[in-house]
Structure 1
Amino acid sequence: MNPTAAPGPSDSGGATNGEHALTPEERAEYERLRRLAAVRHRRVRRAGSSVLLVLTLLLAPLAVVAAWVQDTVSDTDRYVQTMAPLASEPPVQDAVINRLTDRVVERVDVGAVTDSLTKALQDAGAPPRVVEGADALTAPLQDAVRNVVDRTVRGVITSDAFQQAWEGANRRSHAAVVNMLTDDGGGALRAEGGTVQLDVGEVVDQARDRLVDAGFDKAAAIPDTDRTITLFQTEELGKAQDAMRLLDVLGVWLPVLTVALAALAVWTAPAHRVMLMITATGVGVMMVVLLVALAVVRRVYLDSVPPTALPPDAAAAIYDTFVRFLRDSTRTLLVVSVITALIAYLYGPGRPARAVRAVADRSTTAAGRGLGRAGVRTGSTGRRLADHRAWTTGGIIAAAALALVLWNHPTVGAVALVLGVALAVVIVLAILAAASGPTDRAADRAAS
C-alpha cells in the first residue's frame, strides 16, 4: 500500500501501475497507526533513557571514588602530594612528638639519679636537710628531662629536613596505599588485622640519633618495634578492603562507563536538551550525596579512634589530608554539573531563558553596531558567524569540555577559568557577527 499514491486516469478505470489511491477512511486509519507507532517508539526511547539515567546516577559516586583510588595509587607524584602535608600538620606533629618524648622519658631513670645523689651526700656526711632536699629533686629533674627531650624531638619533627625526608620516604614507598587497601603489608601506611597504622620509623631514627648526640644515652634504648601510630581501628576493615580492591580494578573503566551511559541516556531520550538537564542535575545531586557521605565517614572515623591512640585533632587532620583530593574532585564535578544544567536550561523555551538570550542578543548587537559606527566592520566573515551561530557556539562548548577532560586534575578554579574563556569567546564572536554591516548576500556569494 502506498499512502502517497494519487489517483490518475486509467483506461480500465482502476489504479495506475497496480496501485490505487487511499480512501479517506484508509488514510485516517493509516495516520492513526502511524501516530500509535510514533507514541510507542517515544515510550520505548523514554524508558530506555530512564534506565540509562538511573545507572548513571548510581555509578557516578563510585566512579569518582574509583578514579581517586586509582589515581592516588598509580601516580607517585599524586601520592606524595596526598601524604606530604601530614609532616607539616601541627596536630600530627604534636602527636608524634608526644609519643616519642614519652618513650624516651620512660627510659630515663630519674629516680636512680636522685638515689645516687642522696647516697653520695649521705656518704659525704651532708646534713639531713640537704639529703632530704636531694630527694625532692626527682620531680624537677623529670620535668627538665622531658623539656629537653621535647625540645630536641620537636626540632627534628618541625624541621625542613624532616619534611623533605618524609616526602622522600613517601615517594619511595608510594605503594603503601595499595598495601593498606589490599592488606599486603609494608610501606608507610599499612593494615594489620583491624587497624590501619602509620609507620614513623624514619622519625624515630632521626630523633634517637639527635638525643644520643645531645647526651641522652638512654635514648639509644628506644626499641625498633615502637615505630607505628594507629590511625584507624574497625572490625569492618576487611570489608572496606574488599570494596577498595574492586574499586581499584574498576578505577580506569568505571568512569568511562559512567560517561558513556550518561551520553547514551541523553542521545536515547526523545528530548535531548531536557534529558541533558535532568542528567546533569542528577549527577550534581549525587555529588552532594557523596560529600555528605564523606562527612559521615569522617565522623565515624573520629569516633573510632581512641584518644589514647591518637588525639582527635590529629585524627581529623589525617583524614582531611588523605581525602582532600577526593573532595576536590567531587566539588569540581558538582560545579560542572550545575553549569551544564544551567546551559541546557538557557537553550530552552522557558521565559527566563528567553529573557536572558534576548538581553545577551541586544547587548552584543549594540556592541557590534557600535564597532560598525566606529568603522570596524567584519563583512562576510561576520555574516558567516551570524549564519552559523549555533555551530560556532556548540564548537566552543565542545572545546571547553575537551579542555577540562584533558586538564590534569581540574579544580573548581580550572572550571571557572575555562568557563570564563569560553564565555568571552562566545561574546566576542557574537559582537563580530553583529559588526558585519549591511547584508549583501550576492557579494558574499561572489566573494566565496
Structure 2
Amino acid sequence: MTEPPLSPAEVQEYRRLRDREQLRHRRLRYAVTSVLLVVAFVLSPLAVVATWAHTQVSDTDRYVQTVAPLARDPSVQKTVTDRLTARVMDNVDVNAITDALSNALARTNAPPPVVDKSHLLAGPLKNAMTSAVHGVVDKVVTSDQFAQAWNGANRRAHAAVVKTLTGEGNSAVQAKGDAVVLDLGTVVDKVKQKLVDEGYQKASAIPDVDKSVTLFQTDKLDDAQNAMQLLDTLGTWLPVVTIVLAAVAVWSAPAHRVAMMSAAIGIGVMMLLLLAGLAIARRVYLDSVPPTALPPDAAASIYDTFVRFLRSSTRTVLVTAVITAVAGYLYGPGRGARFVRSVSARGTGATGRAMARSGLRTGATGRWLQGHRPWTTGIVIAGAVLALVLWNYPTAACVALVLLITVAVLAVLAVLAAAATADGTTNGPVNGTTNGPGDGPADGTRGTVTRNE
C-alpha cells in the first residue's frame, strides 16, 4: 500500500526542516574543524621545538654535527686561545725569574746599575712569554687535531649532555649554578704538552688550572631544564598529534580544500612567529651573558650554531605549508587557478600530440593514464609526501627538490596520456576533466533522471 503524496505545505515544511538540519550539521562541522585547527596551530611550533630537542639529546651524530662548527669558528677559537693563554701565564711568576736574574748578575759582580735595572725586564719578558705562549696555544686550537679532539670529546660527552639537559649527572658538560659550562681538561693537557715540545720545559710543572668555559649563563637554568625534559618527553608524539589533528580537521570540514589551505596558512604563520621568537631569544641570551664570561661575538656564534638546525626545520615546515596552500589554491575554482591548469593542459597536450604524430604513441597505456589521472596524480603526490617523511632531517631545499620532481613526473604522465593518439582524442575524459558523481554526460548535455516512487 502506497502512502498518499505530500501536500505542497508538507513538502515545504519538509524542505525547511531538512535545510535547518543541514545548516546545524554544517555549523557543527565548522565548529569542530575550527577547534581542531586552533589546537594544531598552537601545537605546531611546540612540535618543531620538541622534535629538535629530542634529536639533540637522542641522536649522537646529530649532536656532534651541531657542535662541530664551534671548533672552527674564529671567535670561539680566539676566546679559547685567550683564556688558555691567560690561565697559563697566571701560573708563571715573572718576578721570580727577574729576581733570579738579579741574583745571578750580582754573583757575577755585574755593575750595580745593571743589577738594579734587571727588574725592568719583567714587563718585556712577560709580554714576550705571553706572545710566545699565545702563538703555541693558537697553533693547537686552530689545528685539525683540535677539531678532531673537539668532536671526539663531544661524542664521548653526549651522554653527559643528556644528563645536563635533564638536570642529572656531572661530566664534561655540566650545570654549575646558573651556568652551563664545558670542561676543556683534555685540551689544556694538550696545550701543556705542546709547550713542553716547543722547548718550554717548565710548562710541565704548571699546576692544574680552571679548565671550564662558560657556554650559557642564565638565572632560568632550572626552568630551561624542566622545559627541556617536557619537550624531550613530547618530542616523539607531539608532532604526530599535531599532524593527526590537522588531518582530522581537514577531513571533518565541509570544504576539504579550504580547510587544507587554512591549515597550511595557519601553520605557516606560526612558523614565522617561531622564527621571530628565536630572534628575540637570541637577543635575550646575548644580553644575559656578561662580556667577562664570554665575548659577544663568541656568544652569538655559539647561539647561532646551537639553534641552526631548529631554524632550518622551521623554514622547512614554512616552505611545506606555503607549497600546500598554493597547491590547494591551484586545485580550486579561482580564475588564476583555472588559467594555470588550462596553460598546463595545453602545454602537455601539445607536447603529447607532437610525440604521437612523430610515431611515439603510447596507445592503451596513454588511454589508461588519461582515464585514471586522479589516481595517478594522487599516487605521485602521496609518494612525494612519503619521501619527505622518510627523509632524514629534510631541509627547505629538499622540499623544493621533491616539489620539482613531483611536478616533472606529473607533467610526464600528462604528456604520455596526451600521446595516446595522433589527434589527442582518447576514450576517457579530455584535458584532465573528469565526471564526478552526479555530473552529467561528457558532451555537456543534461541527463534525465527517472525516480521510481
TM-score (normalizing by structure 1) = 0.91
**Which residue of the partner structure matches residue 126 of structure 2?**
142
Q: Does residue 252 of structure 1 match 2:236? A: yes
1:305 maps to 289
What corresponds to 1:163 in structure 2? Answer: 147
Q: Does the residue aligned with 1:408 lie in a helix, a strand or coil?
A: coil
- Aligned positions of 1:94-173 closer than 5 A: 94-173=78-157
Report Cα offsets for 1:336-357 as digits up to 9, x if no partner.
1111111001001111111111
Query: Partner of 1:44 in structure 2?
Result: 28
Shift, 1:119, TM fit: 2.8
Give how far 1:84 is off: 1.6
**Which moved further from structure 2: 180-189 or 90-99?**
180-189
State the 1:157 CA deviation: 1.2
2:4 corresponds, among 20, 23, 35, to: 20
Question: One-letter code of the match for 1:319?
Answer: Y
Say if 2:171 is the partner of 1:187.
yes
Letter in 1 for 2:102: T
Q: Which moved more, 1:227-236 or 1:123-132?
A: 123-132
Asked if the contact 1:179–1:191 (Cα under 8 Å) also holds between the matched residues in 2, the reply is no
Matches within 5 A, 1:208-247: 208-220=192-204, 222-224=206-208, 226-247=210-231
Distance 2:214 2:120 in 1: 37
**Residues 47 and 242, structure 2, Cα contact 8 Å, conserved in 1:** yes
Matched position secondary structure for 2:158 = coil
Is the CA contact 1:108–1:218 (under 8 Å) kept in the aligned structure 2? Answer: no
Give the drift of 1:380: 2.0
Structure 1 position 84 matched with structure 2 position 37? no
Matched, 1:364 2:329: no
State yes or no: 1:389 paired with 2:364.
Answer: no
Structure 1 residue 93 corresponds to structure 2 residue 77: yes
Q: Which amino acid aligns with 1:285?
A: V
- Report the CA distance shift for 1:264/1:86 in structure 2 as closer, same or farther (over 3 A): same
Q: Say whether residues 1:430 and 2:411 are aligned partners.
A: no
Paired with 1:61 and 1:231, the residues of 2 have a C-alpha distance of 25
Unaligned runs of 5+ in 1: 1-15, 443-448
Deviation (angstroms), 1:132:
4.6
Q: Which residue of 1 aligns with 2:333?
A: 349
Q: 1:180 to 1:223 in 2, by over 3 A?
A: farther
- 1:386-413 deviations in Å (ceiling 9; x for gaps): 2222221121111101100000111112
Residue pair 2:166, 2:229 contacting (<8 A) in 1 also? yes
Between stretches 403-412 and 181-190, larger displacement belongs to: 181-190
CA distance in 2, matches of 1:150, 1:396: 60
Contact 1:195 1:234 in 2 (8 A): yes
Q: Give me the whole-angstrom Cα distance separating, in 1, the residues matched to 2:225 and 2:415.
A: 56
- Partner letter of residue 430 of structure 1? A
Quote the residue 1:10 is aligned against.
none
| Paired residue secondary structure (1:409) | coil
Say whether the 8 Å CA contact 1:57–1:286 is kept in structure 2.
yes
**Equivalent of residue 72 in structure 1, options 56, 60, 69:** 56
For 1:220 and 1:321, the matched residues in 2 are separated by: 35
Could you say which residue in structure 2 is the equivalent of 1:11? none
Give the superposition deviation at 1:175.
2.0
Q: What amino acid sits opposite 1:398 in the alignment?
A: A
Query: In the alignment, does 2:400 pair up with 1:416?
Result: yes
Structure 1, residues 127-164: CA drift from partner, whole Å, max 9, x if none?
34433542322121111111111111112211212211
The Cα shift of 1:221 comes to 5.1
What is the DSSP-based 3-state SS (H/G/I as helix, E as strand, rest coil) of the residue aligned with 2:293?
Answer: coil
Cα 1:223/1:236, change in 2 over 3 Å: farther
- Please point out which of 313, 317, 338 is paired with 2:301: 317
Kept after mapping to 1: 8 A contact 2:264/2:322? yes
Count of residue pairs brought into register by the alignment: 426
- The 8 Å contact of residues 107 and 219 in structure 1, kept in 2 or not, is answered as no
Question: Would you say the 8 A contact 1:176–1:189 is kept in 2?
Answer: yes
Task: Using the TM superposition, give the Cα deviation of residue 186 of structure 1 relative to its aligned residue in structure 2, in angstroms.
Answer: 2.5
Q: CA deviation at 1:222?
A: 4.7
Give the drift of 1:223: 4.7
Query: Which residue number in structure 1 is paired with residue 191 of structure 2?
Result: 207
Counterpart-to-counterpart distance in 2, 1:441 and 1:430? 15
Is the deviation greater in 385-394 or in 290-299? Answer: 385-394
Find the counterpart in structure 2 of residue 12 from structure 1: none
Tell me whether 1:331 sits opposite 2:331 in the alignment. Answer: no
Q: Residue 324 of structure 2 is aligned with which of 318, 340, 344? A: 340
Preserved CA contact (<8 Å) 1:377 1:436: yes
Partner SS for 1:432: helix
| Paired position in structure 1 for 2:43 | 59
Equivalent residues in 2 for 1:261-272, closer than 5 Å: 261-272=245-256
**3-state SS of the aligned residue for 2:161?**
helix
- Matched to 2:32, the amino acid is G
The residue correspondences of 1:368-383 to structure 2 (distance < 5 A) are: 368-383=352-367
Structure 1 residue 265, shift from structure 2 partner: 0.9
- 3-state SS of 1:136 partner: helix
Check whether the contact 2:157–2:173 (CA below 8 A) recurs between aligned residues: no
| Distance in 2, Cα, partners of 1:225 & 1:34 | 84
Give deviations 1:271-303, integer Å, cap 9, x for gaps.
Answer: 000010110011111111111111111111111
Identity of aligned residues (%): 60
The 10-residue stretch of structure 1 (222-231 or 106-115) with the greater mean CA deviation from structure 2: 222-231
Please state how far the C-alpha of 1:34 moved relative to its aligned partner: 0.8
Alpha-carbon shift at residue 267 of structure 1 (Å): 0.6
Rounded Cα–Cα distance in structure 2 between residues aligned with 1:134 and 1:224: 30
User: SS at 1:319's partner residue?
Assistant: helix
Asked whether the equivalents of residues 91 and 207 of structure 2 are also in contact (C-alpha less than 8 Å), the reply is no
**Preserved contact between residue 50 and residue 238 of structure 2 (Cα < 8 Å):** yes
Q: Which amino acid is 2:362 matched to?
A: T
Where does structure 2 lack aligned partners over 5 or more consecutive residues?
429-453
Distance between the aligned counterparts of 1:41 and 1:257, measured in 2?
Answer: 26
